[in-house]
């Protein structure tokens, strides 16, 4: 367990808001063996679940928690969102003809660098600018660091007054345990092949050569981050450097004033606009909770589209959305003609017109 935790936390280049990273480190040091075993079981139970969630013709992708590349018991334990999972959701949304636009609901302090540049490029190409579908990101309530790199590739970013956005920067940490080990009378000997193989180890002070290597790596990722944000936001890299805070995080109004976001809206506001008032706060299930209540009509309709055309009746009756046929089986009812016409009219241009396509 300690080995896997150290692999995740030590020596990595991080795209994460620093206070959130400190909290993650503290949490990691408090993990118990029973928690690990429970996380392993829970992750194995839920990892096969991968379904697209539609509200009307809007796909909703939840991005809550630290960003990691692949799902594992570690990502489950720390409440992470994964690039693997978001990629799968995005591709399902792009392939589904019932989906007209995509909303990514962010509440993330960022995470590791792994596969963030690649997924950012995929998001940019999948957006309306890349001849895909309109993609909207909403801060509910944090979009920071790696999350902002990704959200910046959306067609528009929405923020409420209490949202937090930014942290455009990269860092890594080196922990020097040599003084503590000396006091404890512990001496660690590293045996390696390759003069630089043990650069950055925690048992001795960081050498000048290792520091220069780490700095060059962080600077390169930082330059890529700034360039990606500049392209995604339609500004120059100089504008990103001058006005996006170089690692600072900004609250909603200031983030809007500085250009880190486009329009003021909560997640519920945005969904209501996109679905022409059909989606309120209770109509989209929160992350990790099962949908419930009468407000999920559009979710249920989307679910029916995925079900079989013919089903066995239960207790002599058909489920809602099915009708009894002469063969005694329940057959999926066709949607009314006006619903199809309405969907055809609700194209990307119509959505952009509703929201306003200009940047604030």
Q: Residue 271: its pLDDT value, please?
A: 95
pLDDT above 90 (res 297): no
Compute the distance between CA of residue 91 and CA of residue 283 in angstroms, rounded to an integer. Answer: 23
Q: Residue 173: its pLDDT value, please?
A: 83
Residue with tokens 């944090």: 142
The answer to which of 33-37, 134-138, 255-259 has the lowest mean pLDDT is: 33-37
Q: What percent of the chain has pLDDT over 70?
A: 74
- Determine the average pLDDT of the residues in 13-36: 78
The CATH number of 2-174+205-274 is 3.90.226.10
Residue 97's nearest CA partner among 57, 137, 154 is 57
Q: Residue 3: its pLDDT value, please?
A: 44
Buried b (16+ CB within 10 A) or exposed e, 65-84: bbbbbebbbbbbbbebbbbb
Residue 135's nearest CA partner among 99, 109, 168, 165 is 99
DSSP assignment string, 40-83? HHHHHHHTT-----EETTEEEEEEESSEESS--HHHHHTT-EEH
Q: Residue 344: its pLDDT value, please?
A: 32
pLDDT classification of 4: cutoffs 50, 70, 90: low
Q: Residue 325: its pLDDT value, please?
A: 80
Residue 28's nearest CA partner among 75, 82, 85 is 75
3-class DSSP state of 193? coil
Query: Is the Cβ–Cβ distance between 103 and 88 less than 8 Å?
Result: no
Q: Residue 336: its pLDDT value, please?
A: 45
Tell how strand 156-159 and strand 263-264 pair up.
parallel
Compute the distance between CA of residue 212 and CA of residue 216 in angstroms, rounded to an integer. Answer: 6
pLDDT in tens, 87-131: 999 999 999 999 999 999 999 999 989 999 999 999 999 999 988
- Reading the block at residue 195, the tokens are 């003069």
pLDDT classification of 72: cutoffs 50, 70, 90: confident
Residue 329 burial class via C-beta count within 10 angstroms: exposed 0-12, middle 13-18, buried 19 and up: middle
Q: pLDDT averaged over the chain? A: 80
| CATH 3.90.226.10 location in the chain | 2-174+205-274
The answer to which of 55-69, 90-104, 249-263, 330-344 has the lowest mean pLDDT is: 330-344
3-class DSSP state of 95? helix
- Reading the block at residue 85, the tokens are 């999972």
Q: What percent of the chain has pLDDT over 90?
A: 55
- Please name the residue ranges forming H helices in the chain: 2-9, 18-29, 33-46, 73-77, 83-95, 116-126, 146-151, 178-183, 208-233, 237-243, 252-258, 267-274, 297-306, 337-345, 348-355
Q: Other C-beta atoms within 10 Å of 318: how many? A: 18
Q: Residue 8: its pLDDT value, please?
A: 53
The answer to which of 28-32, 250-254, 280-284, 325-329 has the lowest mean pLDDT is: 280-284
Q: Residue 356: its pLDDT value, please?
A: 39
| pLDDT: which is higher, 106 or 314 | 106
Compute the distance between CA of residue 46 and CA of residue 9 in angstroms, rounded to an integer. Answer: 24
DSSP assignment string, 218-276? HHHHHHHHHHHHHHHHTS-HHHHHHHS-TT-EEEHHHHHHHTS-SEE--HHHHHHHHTT
Residue with tokens 């801060």: 139
């Amino acid at each position: 367990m300690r080995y896997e935790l150290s692999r995740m936390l030590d020596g990595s280049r991080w795209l994460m808001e620093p206070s959130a990273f400190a909290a993650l480190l503290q949490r990691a040091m408090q993990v118990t063996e029973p928690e690990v075993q429970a996380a392993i079981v829970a992750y194995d139970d839920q990892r096969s679940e991968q379904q697209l969630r539609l509200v009307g013709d809007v796909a909703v992708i939840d991005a809550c928690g630290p960003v990691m590349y692949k799902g594992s018991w570690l990502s489950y334990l720390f409440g992470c969102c994964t690039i693997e999972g978001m990629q799968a959701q995005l591709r399902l949304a792009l392939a589904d003809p019932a989906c007209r636009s995509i909303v990514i609901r962010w509440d993330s302090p960022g995470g590791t660098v792994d596969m963030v540049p690649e997924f950012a490029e995929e998001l940019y190409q999948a957006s309306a600018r890349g001849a895909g579908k309109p993609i909207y990101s909403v801060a509910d309530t944090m979009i920071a660091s790696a999350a902002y790199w990704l959200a910046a590739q959306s067609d528009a970013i929405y923020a409420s007054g209490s949202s937090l956005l930014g942290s455009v920067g990269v860092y890594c940490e080196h922990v020097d345990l040599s003084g503590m080990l000396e006091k404890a009378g512990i001496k660690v000997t590293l045996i390696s092949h390759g003069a630089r193989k043990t650069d950055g180890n925690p048992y001795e002070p960081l050498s000048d050569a290792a520091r220069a290597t780490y700095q060059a790596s962080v600077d390169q990722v930082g330059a890529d981050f700034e360039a990606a944000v500049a392209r995604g936001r339609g500004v120059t890299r100089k504008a990103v450097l001058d006005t996006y805070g170089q690692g600072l995080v900004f609250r909603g109004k200031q983030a809007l004033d500085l250009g880190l976001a486009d329009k003021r809206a909560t997640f519920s506001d945005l969904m209501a606009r996109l679905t022409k008032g059909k989606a309120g706060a209770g109509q989209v299930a929160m992350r990790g909770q099962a949908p419930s209540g009468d407000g999920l009509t559009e979710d249920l309709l989307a679910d029916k589209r995925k079900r079989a055309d013919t089903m066995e009746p239960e207790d002599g009756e058909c489920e809602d959305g099915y009708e009894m046929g002469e063969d005694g089986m329940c057959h999926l009812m066709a949607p009314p003609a006006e619903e199809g016409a309405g969907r055809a009219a609700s194209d990307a241009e119509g959505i952009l017109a509703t929201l306003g396509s200009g940047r604030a």
